[in-house]
Amino acid sequence: MRDHVELPDLVQLAVAGDRDAFGELVRRYERLVLGIAWNILRDYHAAQDVAQEAFVTAYRRLADLKNRGAFGPWVAQIAVRCCHQSRDRRPMLQLSADHDPMQLPPEPLLLNEETDRILTAIRELPEHEQTIVFLRYMEGHAVTTIAKLTDRPLGTVTKQLSRAVRRLQNLLIEVES
Amino acid sequence: MNVDDVLAEALQPLSEPLSTAESLVSNVLARLNHSRPAGRALDGPPAAPRRSQGRWPARVAVAVVAIAAVGLLLLFSRHAPSITLAQVTAAVDRQHWAHLVYRDGSETWVCLDDGKFLMKRVRDSQPPSYYLRDPATRTEQHYDFFHEIRLSRPEVWVLGRNRNGKIIPLDVDELTFSDSDLARPRRSTDEDRSKLAAVVDFDIVTEDGRRLGHFSHQRRDALGELQVSKELWVDLATKLPVRIRSWGFAAGMATRVAREGTYEFLEKGPSDLYDLGVPRTIPIVSQIETEKEAEQAIPAEARRAIAGAKSAVRRFPHRFRVLKIEGANQQTITYVDSGDAHPFGWIAGDEAVGTVGRYFSADCQDTGLASQKFAELTAEAAFDLSVPIPAAEISQAFPFASSVNTVLIDGRRWFVLTRTSVNPPKSQLQVLTASSSRDIDDLESQWEFADWNWTELATGKSSEAVPPGQMLVHAERVDLKNDWFVDPARDYTVARHVEYRLNDGKWEKRETRAVKWEHLPDGPWYVSAWETRRRGLVTGIDKDGKRTQQEEEIIDCVRLLITPLRPEDLPAGLFDGDKFLDAAKAAGAQLRVD
């Protein structure tokens, strides 16, 4: 089990070719990636495909990830791009007969309405703000830690986070109204 | 429930793993079999099938290698440390307070029971600063400017927990370990060292009869060379950290220096910043509760001015040249190419924030080192506002070779070349990994209030009268007061700025007044000339030829000309970092690579 290994070390091991380490990265972030894919595509089978695609893309590009503690937000952004690419390709897909695009994901994956709504709003943020929001609220890092992970000054992160939260508030209010 | 809690409650469940049945892990790993390993060079083309030269020799060779590997493994395992991350975590968990003391006098205290965190930071030749974070009251205290301890309640607050669920501040990286390295004593391979962004070597040392695990963390510097960044020693008997050594640069120094600290684990720790050394006469002053409340408390007129400034800044071009003339002997030329992003992300509040962009600036601090033509061009423009600045001619004749300060950002790296002597040549080049764009102070100061601390914008009132047609934005804290008189007719630029700064118990006034504006085509107005008045010591010679110093009012005049540029207008090779580096090396610059 690698669940006690620090994230940057897991990434480093994976970069070095340790597939078990990458498997642990998938385990830690698959719910996030699947959640994002579901949030965008509203098709569970497509979301699963895209989530796998996102992780494979992440594996190929892992050496490019500068801030290894920020793997989660990074793979989330890859997932968003994969979703958009997939959506562009979807008219070309041949759906199998038993494929029901309207089906809901299995219970363990079902996002509650609030999470779904917030994921939609987060996608409206600039990428650097998405990163900070995921690091802060999903992974629970302190602002000082986020500053280290993203290699930005503490004041910068604080400002970016405040702006992101304000923007999210506005976006959520807009959705509500 | 506030937005902080809503977001955390909605997003934290996304970090939970899925059950085995729903997990993607096996599918993803199966697909990786068709992918090249991350971080390694692309595999070469598959080798063409070769006729076997006889299989037995190959099998024997494989067997010999396998036996040798097992032998090596057995040999190695005899020396493997009996230490795992779980053991270290458990050992730390049995403690109550961790205390890390650095040789420079800095210290960190962490209560391992409730996450209380106190820090005293000593910096070169500066008074120490102090910080406290108290999870019980969700408050922070800062003391670094000697009038008060500032108590605040940050909107953003999270408690870290270690693997056993025990509260621990997550930013105490001195108390985090890498178990993969603990479990595998090794020196990283040459391949890892040539390819990975960071490596960790591990060995065992004996000090004062104790066996210590020694971790050497190395990361790549801005030029891609591996450098030791941190070393950590853990006692193999107690499983507790013993010592840490971090490597970095002292201010102005070109060689790395070590900062070394030792750990101790104690039953009790300090209860407040006074226990850490802050004089007990210093009061604790509570700030406005949260940033959000501070924003709401900003006066309506200031809010309108901030909104107007942000709107103006968003219309700024993304590529431009700035010529700055300060009197006859100080000129600066700056080129900015922020690409698709915005050059003033902070003020504009858009997605440009965090974008590196490309940037070049050079100064001229002595026109005696420039051509006669350059000296004439700048002198004429410096003293007569009615003379247009001949931007093209000045740019052509700019004496780059004698610049004292040259800064280049090539999109990935910052290069800071400081030339302290032209004859004989003497210079230092600092290279840093670029993670953000460079502030363009002279432009951003024209809308400075728009990015000011909200708490200070919501505090105090100005005693000054507001001229007709202008708006007033006031900010103050215990040692600094600002009045910005904003001109809404000229894109909310600052027409006059008065700053009062408390220095040695005395308020010092500095006043800047705009005297000329220009309007950028398809862009906003900007202040193209201003004067600053302040009190300062002026050196003179008396009638006996002796050197004298007396306080007088000093007036500085500055002119600025911004020229929007198309991509093709940028000088060829201007942002070429490699070329810049080679030229600096060839000129004998002392290198400092962060």
Question: What is the ipTM metric for this complex?
Answer: 0.78
Distance CA B183, CA B204 (A): 12
Q: What is the rounded distance in angstroms from the CA atom of residue B440 to the CA atom of residue B345? A: 11
Q: Which residue has the higher pLDDT, B353 or A50?
A: A50
The answer to whether the beta carbons of residues A33 and A51 sit under 8 Å apart is yes
Judging contacts by C-beta atoms under 8 Å, the chain B residues touching residue A22 are 28-29, 32, 38
**Chain B residues with CB inside 8 Å of A150's CB?**
435
DSSP for A14-51, written as a single string: HHTT-HHHHHHHHHHHHHHHHHHHHHHH--HHHHHHHH
Handedness of CA A157, A159, A161, A164 (dihedral sign): negative
In chain A, the residue whose alpha carbon lies closest to the alpha carbon of B8 is: A137
CB B442 within 8 A of CB B512: no
CA distance A29 to chain B (A): 6
CA distance A91 to A96: 13
Interface of B with A in 350-409 (CB under 8 A): 350-351, 353-354
Neighbours of B465 (CB within 10 A): 8
Q: Is the pLDDT of residue B408 over 90?
A: yes
DSSP code at position B567:
G
Spell out which residues of chain A touch residue B3, defining contact as CB-CB under 8 Å. Answer: 165, 168-169
Alpha-carbon distance A97 to A11, whole Å?
39
Closest CA to B344 of B481, B524, B515: B524
Kindly state the helix (H) or strand (E) to which residue B531 belongs, with its residue range.
strand B525-541
Integer Cα distance of B170 and B119 in angstroms: 14
- Note the pLDDT tens digit of each residue in B332-351: 999 999 887 777 765 665 44
Percent of chain A with pLDDT strictly greater than 90: 1
pLDDT in tens, B66-103: 323 323 222 333 344 455 656 666 777 778 888 989 88
pLDDT in tens, A18-43: 777 888 888 888 888 888 887 777 77
Output the pTM of the full model. Answer: 0.60
CA-nearest residue to B182 within chain A is A5
Token pair, residue B292, equals 């959000």
Measured between alpha carbons, how far is B246 from B591 in angstroms, rounded to an integer? 20
Q: Which residues 445-504 of chain B have a CB within 8 Å of chain A? A: none
Residue B218, Cβ density class (10 Å: 0-12 exposed, 13-18 middle, ≥19 buried)? buried
B90: contact with A, CB 8 A cutoff: no
Model pLDDT for residues B19-66, shown as the tens digit of each residue: 766 778 877 877 765 444 333 332 222 222 222 233 333 333 323 333
Cα dihedral B247/B251/B255/B259 (nearest 10) = -30
Q: Which pLDDT value is given to residue B86?
A: 60
DSSP-derived letter for residue B161 is: B
- B41 burial type by CB count under 10 A (0-12 exposed, 13-18 middle, 19+ buried): exposed
pLDDT at B578 exceeding the cut of 90? yes
Residue A17 exposed, middle or buried by CB count within 10 Å (0-12, 13-18, 19+): middle
The 8-class DSSP code of residue B167 comes to B
Residue B213 to residues A65, B179, B234: CA-CA distances in angstroms? 29, 12, 5
Per-residue pLDDT tens digits for B280-337: 999 998 876 666 677 788 999 999 999 999 889 888 899 999 999 987 778 999 999 9
CA distance B97 to B204: 27
Q: Write the burial class of residue A45 (CB in 10 Å: 0-12 exposed, 13-18 middle, 19+ buried).
A: middle
- Average pLDDT for residues B536-560, to the nearest whole number? 79
Convert the pLDDT of each residue in A121-174 to its tens digit. Answer: 887 787 778 888 888 887 777 787 777 777 777 778 888 888 888 888 877 775
Instruction: Identify which has the larger pLDDT, B186 or B171.
Output: B186
**Residue B172 is encoded by which pair of tokens?**
């105490």
Q: Do B10 and A134 touch (CB under 8 A)?
A: no
* CB proximity B180 to A under 8 Å: yes
What are B376's two structure tokens?
Answer: 């004439």
pLDDT at position B114: 78
B195 at interface of A, judged by CB pairs closer than 8 A: yes
Dihedrals phi, psi of B233, to nearest 5 degrees: -115, 130
Q: What is the DSSP letter of A112?
A: P
Q: Hey, what are A114's tokens?
A: 């609030």
Task: With a cut of 80, say whether residue B148 has pLDDT above it.
Answer: yes
Contact flag B171-A106 (C-beta cutoff 8 Å): no
Q: How much of chain B, in percent, has pLDDT values that exceed 70?
A: 78
| pLDDT beyond 70 at B159 | no
Mapping DSSP to helix (H, G, I), strand (E, B) and coil, where does residue A105 land?
A: coil
Q: Measured between beta carbons, which residues in chain A are less than 8 angstroms from residue B38?
A: 14-15, 17, 22, 59-63
Confidence of residue A56 (pLDDT cuts 50, 70, 90): confident
B188 touches B200 (CB < 8 A): yes
Higher pLDDT among residues A174 and B137, named by residue: B137
Cα–Cα distance, A122 to A58 (Å, whole number)? 20
Taking the C-alpha atoms of residue B295 and residue B396, their distance in angstroms, rounded to an integer, is 47
**What does the alpha-carbon distance between residue B161 and residue B168 come to, in Å, rounded to a whole number?**
5
Tens of pLDDT, residues B212-270: 888 888 888 888 889 898 888 888 888 788 888 888 776 666 678 888 999 898 999 99
- ∠ CA(B539), CA(B515), CA(B467), 5° rounding? 110
Tell me how close the Cα of A100 comes to any Cα of chain B, in angstroms.
18
Give the residue among B160, B439, B134 at the shortest CA–CA distance from A155.
B439
In the prediction, which pLDDT does B334 show? 95
Quote the pLDDT of residue B155. 57
Write the residue in B31, B192, B346 that is nearest to A16 by C-beta: B192
Q: Which residue from A11, A172, A69 is spatially nearest to B199, judged by alpha carbons?
A: A11
The per-residue pLDDT for range B434-490, each reduced to its tens digit, is: 766 677 778 888 998 988 877 788 888 888 899 999 999 999 887 889 999 999 999
Provide the mean pLDDT of chain B.
78
H helices then E strands: how many in chain B?
15, 25
Report the interhelical angle of A19-41 vs A71-89 (nearest 10°): 50
Percentage of chain A lying above the pLDDT 70 cut: 79
Q: Which of B136-150, B210-224, B284-298, B516-530 has the highest mean pLDDT?
A: B516-530
Q: B149-152 and B198-207 as β-strands: parallel, antiparallel, unpaired?
A: unpaired
Structure tokens at A131: 């990163």
How far is B290 from B154, CA to CA, in rounded Å? 6
pLDDT at A102 over 50: no
